[in-house]
Structure formats: C-alpha cells, structure tokens
C-alpha cells in the first residue's frame, strides 16, 4: 500500500533512522501487533473448531444411516416389495446400496428417485443382482464342500 501513495518515499525523505526506530518501538510497545496476531490466532482456532464439528456431524449422520441400513432385512419377494411404502422402499434401497458397495452408483441417490415407480424399478434390479450373488455364493460354497 505504501508504494502506491508514496508513503515510503515521504518517510525516507522526512524521517531519520532514529525516528524510524522510535516509531517502531512505540508501535510495538502499544501491543497492537500482538493483539492483532492473538485475535487472528483465536479466529483461526474458532474456524478450525467449527469445521471439525461440522465434519464430525456429517460422519455421525453417515454412520447412523449406515447402521440403520445394516439393520434392515433385505426382502427378495417381488410381490411384497410392490406393496411397500416410500419409507420401506428407501430402507430397502439403502440396504442394497450397502450390499452393492463393490459397484458404486448402481442405485441412484434418494434425491434422484422422484417417485415410487422409479424406486421400485431400481429396487427390483438390485434384488435381481442380490439373488444372482447369493446363488453364485451358494454354488461356490457347494463346490468347496464337494472337494473337501
């Protein structure tokens, strides 16, 4: 800033080295620099704490949703699924999202599923994948048992 309004040139022309030293000492002794640095540190600490709290709240929310989804029993009966309410369909979709972790984004986010028909369509596809996986696992396990 001092280079734009020629403050430095004015100070060089009108102040001696002793006067510069006196002004710096006077300025430092008033504690303004230390107060400003302390205020900045305090502000940064508050911002960091707020950021940490927000992150922790998101982690807690994600963990709570994952725990809820883990407690949902996956239903594979299509007739039963067709009669489920919105909340029940979303719970089933959440459970299948956890089951399909190896392939992310197979089931769209809740916000992208606007009605129960879309929810049911994606849920039926997820049930089909689940049934294929369970059949594959049971066939693989029977092969292991036959070998042993």
Quick check: pTM over 0.85?
no
Whole-angstrom Cα distance, residue 85 to residue 82?
9
Give the mean model confidence (pLDDT) for residues 15-22.
86
Residue 139 pLDDT level (bands cut at 50, 70, 90): low
CA distances from 108 to 22, 90, 111, 118 (A): 69, 11, 8, 10
Report pLDDT digits (tens) over 110-123: 888 889 899 999 88
Say if residue 105's pLDDT is above 80. no
How far apart, in whole angstroms, are the C-alpha atoms of residue 147 and residue 33?
A: 79
Which tens digits make up the pLDDT trace of 49-104? 999 999 999 999 989 988 888 888 888 888 888 899 999 999 988 888 887 766 76
| Other Cβ atoms closer than 10 A to 122 | 19
142 pLDDT above the threshold of 60: no
């Amino acid at each position: 800033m001092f280079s734009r309004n020629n403050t430095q040139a004015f100070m060089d022309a009108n102040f001696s080295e002793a006067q510069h030293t006196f002004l710096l000492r006077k300025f430092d002794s008033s504690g303004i620099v230390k107060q400003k640095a302390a205020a900045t540190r305090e502000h940064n600490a508050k911002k960091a704490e707020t950021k940490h709290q927000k992150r922790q709240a998101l982690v807690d929310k994600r963990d709570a949703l994952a725990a809820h989804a883990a407690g949902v029993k996956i239903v594979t009966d299509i007739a039963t699924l067709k009669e489920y309410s919105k909340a029940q369909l979303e719970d089933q979709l959440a459970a299948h999202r956890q089951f399909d972790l190896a392939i992310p984004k197979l089931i769209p986010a809740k916000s992208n599923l606007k009605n129960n028909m879309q929810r049911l369509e994606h849920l039926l596809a997820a049930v089909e994948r689940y049934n294929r996986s369970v059949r594959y696992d049971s066939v693989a396990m029977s092969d292991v048992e036959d070998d042993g």
